[in-house]
Structure 1
Amino acid sequence: MEVLVAGSSGFVGRSLCPKLEAAGHAVRAMTRRPRSYRGAGAPVRGDVHDVESLEAALAGCEVAYYLVHSLDEPTFEQRDAAAARRFGQAAAEAGVSRIVYLGGLGADGDHLSTHLRSRRAVEHLLGVAGVPVTTLRAGVIVGHGGISWEMTRQLVEHLPAMITPRWVRTRTQPIALDDVIRYLVGVLDCPATDGRAFEIGGPEMLTYGDMLHRLAAIEGRPLLVLPVPLLSPRMSSLWLSLVTDVDPRTSRSLIESMVNETVVRDDSIRNLIPFEPMDYDEAILRALGQRAKARRAA
C-alpha cells in the first residue's frame, strides 16, 4: 500500500515510518526539508500550509497519516484548524481512501483545554472534504523525545522536591510509544476501523503524581511532591522552563490540559487489534533505553 506520513520527522513519525516499511508498505515521508531527511521512507516535500506541495505529496497515495501540530505557535488552534482543513481537501482531491490521525483523549462533555479542543477540531476538519478519518486518541505517550514524557523525566531528574499545581492529582492513562505504533500500523489491515475514533491507553490509570513517583523509584531518586492550589498555568510553565528544556508556550498548553482526565472510557479497539499493551514501568524502561541508545549514537 502506498502511504504518506505527514509529520515523518516528529516524535511519533520517526518510529512509525520504519514499522510501516517493515509491514510491507511503500512509505512517503513528508517533510519540509527532504534533502536533510535521514529516516525511513522516501522523502517528499510537503508543507501543510502549502496547498501545491500537498497535491504533489499525496498524488497516488491510498492512505495518509496526519501527525502534525503547532503547539509552539501562539495561534496554534487557528493554524492547526486551517492546516487540517487544507490537508483533508488535498487528500480528497488526490483520491486518498483514508486518513489516520493521532488525537488526544478527553471526554467530550468536559470543559476541554484549548489543546485538547484543538485536537478534537482537527479530527473533524480532516474529514470535512469527505475522506474517512480513523482517529486514535491517546493521553501521555511514554517514549524518548515525547514532550509530555520529557517534562516528566526532566522534572524527576532535576528536582528531588517540587511544588506542583493540583493537576498532579488528575488521572491519565499513559501508553508506551511502541504500543501507539502497533495501533497506528494495525488499523491499516483492519477495515472495521475505517472512519471511526478509538481510545488507546496502557493498562493502568495513574495520576501525574503517580507517574512522577514511579519514575523516581525506577531511577532510584528521592522525590517529594507538594501540591498547592494557587499555581497558575502561566506560573507553572515559567517554572517548568527553568528546570526543563520544554518551550514555555508548549508547556503551558500541556499544563492547561492536565486539568482534564485523559483516560480510556471505550476500549473497543482491543477487540479489533488484540495485544497486551505494556505497563507503565515497562514503558519507562523502554523510553530510558531509547534515550540511552540515542545518546550513544549522537
Structure 2
Amino acid sequence: MNIFNKITMMLCIASTSLTSCEAQVKNAKTETVKIYGNCGMCETTIETAGNVKKVAKVDWDKDTKIAIITYDSMKTNQDEILKRIALAGYDSDKFLAPDDVYSKLHGCCQYERVTKTTIVKTDVVDDHSSHNHDATTTEKPTETSQEVNQLKSIFDNYFALKDALVKSDGKLASSIAKELLSNINAVNMTKLSTDEHTVWMKVMKDLAFDTEHIEETKDAGHQRDHFTSLSKNMYALIKVSKQETPIYYQNCPMYNDGKGANWLSKESTIKNPYYGSQMLSCGKTVETIK
C-alpha cells in the first residue's frame, strides 16, 4: 500500500473514531500535521505529550508521520499542541525539539532530523538574502552571530518601548512595537540555547499578542495595559539569556488599582513607564539580573 492510500485509509478510519472524540471535546476542530518519529514508542510519547483530557486528542501514524489532532478551539490551538510534542523530543514543520531532549530519546526513536536543516536554510535566506552566497562557507559563524543578534534586538526594542512609555509617547511606542513584532516573528528557534528555546516556546505567542496590541493603538494608557504582561514574559526570557550588563527588574506598587506591575530596565534609576512624569520615580528595584 503506497503512502497516499495509507493516509486516505487513516483519515477514513479516524473520521469514525473522531466522532466519539469530538463528542468529548467541545468546539472541536480537526487538523492533520506532519510530526517526525520512527516507531511505536515514538507514537506513545507523541500522543501522550499532545493529549489533554477533553481539550486535545492526537492520533499519530508511524508510517505516514501524519498526526490527526482534534482540539477545543476555545481552549487551545495547533501551535500549543505541537509545542508540547516538541518539548517531548519530536520535530514538526513548525516547531523543533531542543537538541538535548532529542539526544535523550531511545536509539530507535532518533529519527532523521531533515526538518532542522530545511528551516535553518530558509531562515538564512530570509534574514540574510544579501549574503546568501556565503551561507555554505560561513554557516557556523553566521548562526552564532544571528543567535545573539536575534534576542538582543528583541530586548533592545523592549527597552526602547519602555522609554517611550516613560515619555507617554504613544506614537513612538506604536512605531517601536512594530519593529519589535517583526523581530519576534524573525526568531529562529534552532539558534537559541536549550533554556532559551524552552522559554521562547512558552512565551512567544503572548509576546506577539501584546506587541500587536501596543502597535495597533497610539493610546499610551492602553499600551501600558499590554506592557504589564509583555514585561512579565520578557522577564522569563531574559532570565535564561546571557546579558552583557545587569538588568533591573523594577516594580510600581500603585499601577492597576494598587495590584502593582513590573518592568525591566537597563538602569537602576527608577523611571516609571506606567505613570511617566506624573509619578516618574514611583517604584523600586526588586531583582538585579546578571
> TM-score range, shorter-chain basis?
under 0.3
- Report the structure, 1 or 2, having the larger helix content: 2
| More contact order relative to length (CA 8 Å, sep ≥ 6) | 1
**Structure of larger gyration radius:** 2
- Report the structure, 1 or 2, having the larger strand content: 1
TM-score of the superposition, structure 2-length normalised? 0.26
TM-score of the superposition, structure 1-length normalised? 0.25
